[in-house]
């Protein structure tokens, strides 16, 4: 049975550990290295298309702000890494190693240790900055899963079925692809009934759990893209997003409406080509959400949008020339 006291102790300990010399955290997650990216580039060259593949993040970027996607993937302007991206990469890499460690240990011993902390990377400087709330909540999520497997008297349900699992749909003019952070047996999740067949594809999200009103065009759309992609290769019972910051696990039922929206957006993106007119500017809170340097889109100063300027929509942090005003209002 999972020992919740060990995890609670980690919660207490985690808040008292000293910060590492580099407060930004440990090493960055290595770039995902798959030969399929090269294949996709060769296909792009042959077919003379404007991008080698469509991914979940590209699709979501296009859905939220087509012009941002244009700057990033058509013009090739790279966004500098910010602290939220760095935190997300670091936490994802810790979770990935944890699942590999669980799987390796299970293959060797046929069992899973109650103290799940032993499966975290041995180099604790990689995760000590994120202990509270991310690592602690994640381990509690996993402990609930282990408890369910113990209740079913089958710990073989616990190790991940897939880790950073990669799926490509090559039957499209522009191939579609996705990496699932982890794929687990549905029966191992207390959110599903014990006799649920198939697997659950899980995406880890290191931001805040989105309010319900934003889910339909956000997380649910992302999950639908994954459902469409992964059901070709796996017996998918559900697709879900886990938010360790708030210990929330969100799953969405697949709907025809969302499915056709994903298909329509993929098709639009495929047809958009390199013409900037096909990538409308869609300003909103993500353009600038505060007056500071790190509180705006990387492209804010080269983008003609008027968000957060004196004459534009939203709060006022900048003049119409996008010069910083002394304080926001």
Q: Does 299 bind ligand SF4 (CB under 6 A)?
A: yes
Q: How many CB atoms lie within 10 A of CB 78?
A: 8
Question: How far is it, in rounded angstroms, from Cα 65 to Cα 59?
Answer: 10
Give the shortest CB-64-to-ligand SF4 separation in angstroms: 8
Which CB, 67 or 98, lies closer to ligand SF4?
A: 67
Q: Does 297 bind ligand SF4 (CB under 6 A)?
A: yes
Bridge partners, 54 (sequence order): 176
Q: Does 281 bind ligand SF4 (CB under 6 A)?
A: yes
> Which H/E stretch holds residue 238?
strand 236-243
Q: Does 65 bind ligand SF4 (CB under 6 A)?
A: yes
Which CB, 40 or 265, lies closer to ligand SF4?
A: 265
Of the residues 54, 60, 63, 68, which one makes contact with ligand SF4 according to CB under 6 A? 68
Of the residues 62, 242, 300, 318, which one makes contact with ligand SF4 according to CB under 6 A? 300
What's phi and psi for 135, nearest 5 deg? -70, -40
Q: Does 286 bind ligand SF4 (CB under 6 A)?
A: yes
Helix, coil or strand: residue 214: helix
Question: How far is it, in rounded angstroms, from Cα 94 to Cα 232?
Answer: 28
Which CB, 150 or 286, lies closer to ligand SF4?
A: 286
Question: How far is it, in rounded angstroms, from Cα 310 to Cα 138?
Answer: 43
Q: Does 287 bind ligand SF4 (CB under 6 A)?
A: yes
Q: Does 303 bind ligand SF4 (CB under 6 A)?
A: yes
* Piece of 40-48, 63-71, 100-108, 168-176 that binds ligand SF4 (CB under 6 A): 63-71
- Whether 130 contacts 95, CB under 8 Å: no
Which CB, 55 or 65, lies closer to ligand SF4?
A: 65
Question: How far is it, in rounded angstroms, from Cα 217 to Cα 102?
Answer: 34
Which CB, 72 or 126, lies closer to ligand SF4?
A: 72
Question: How far is it, in rounded angstroms, from Cα 258 to Cα 222?
Answer: 10
Q: Which residues of 283-304 are buried (b: 16+ CB within 10 A; e: fewer)?
A: beeebbbebeeeebbbbbeebe
Q: Which residues bind ligand SF4 (CB under 6 A)?
A: 65, 67-68, 71, 281, 283, 286-287, 297, 299-300, 303, 305, 307
């Amino acid at each position: 049975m999972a020992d919740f006291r060990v995890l609670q102790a980690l919660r207490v300990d985690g808040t008292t550990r000293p910060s590492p010399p580099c407060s930004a955290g440990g090493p960055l997650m290595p770039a995902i290295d798959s030969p399929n990216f090269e294949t996709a580039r060769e296909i792009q060259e042959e077919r003379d298309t404007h991008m080698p593949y469509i991914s979940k993040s590209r699709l979501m970027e296009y859905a939220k702000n087509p012009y941002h996607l244009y700057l990033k993937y058509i013009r090739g302007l790279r966004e500098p890494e910010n602290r939220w991206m760095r935190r997300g990469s670091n936490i994802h890499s810790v979770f990935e190693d944890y699942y590999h460690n669980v799987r390796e240990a299970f293959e060797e011993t046929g069992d899973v240790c109650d103290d799940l902390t032993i499966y975290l990377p041995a180099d604790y400087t990689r995760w000590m900055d994120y202990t509270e709330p991310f690592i602690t909540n994640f381990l509690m999520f996993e402990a609930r899963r282990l408890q369910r497997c113990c209740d079913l008297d089958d710990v073989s349900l616990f190790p991940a079925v897939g880790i950073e699992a990669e799926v490509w749909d090559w039957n499209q003019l522009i191939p579609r692809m996705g990496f699932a952070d982890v794929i687990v047996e549905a029966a191992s999740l207390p959110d599903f009934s014990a006799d649920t067949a198939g697997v659950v594809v899980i995406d880890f999200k290191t931001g805040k759990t989105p309010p319900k009103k934003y889910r339909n065009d956000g997380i649910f759309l992302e999950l639908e893209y994954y459902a469409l992609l992964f059901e070709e290769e796996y017996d998918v019972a559900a697709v879900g997003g886990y938010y360790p910051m708030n210990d929330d696990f969100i799953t969405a039922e697949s709907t025809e409406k969302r499915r056709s929206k994903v298909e329509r957006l993929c098709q639009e993106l495929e047809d958009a080509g390199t013409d900037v007119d096909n990538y409308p500017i869609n300003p909103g809170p993500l353009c600038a959400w505060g007056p500071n340097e790190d509180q705006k889109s990387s492209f804010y100063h080269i983008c003609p949008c008027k968000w957060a300027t004196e004459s534009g929509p939203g709060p006022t942090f900048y003049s119409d020339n996008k010069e910083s005003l002394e304080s926001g209002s």
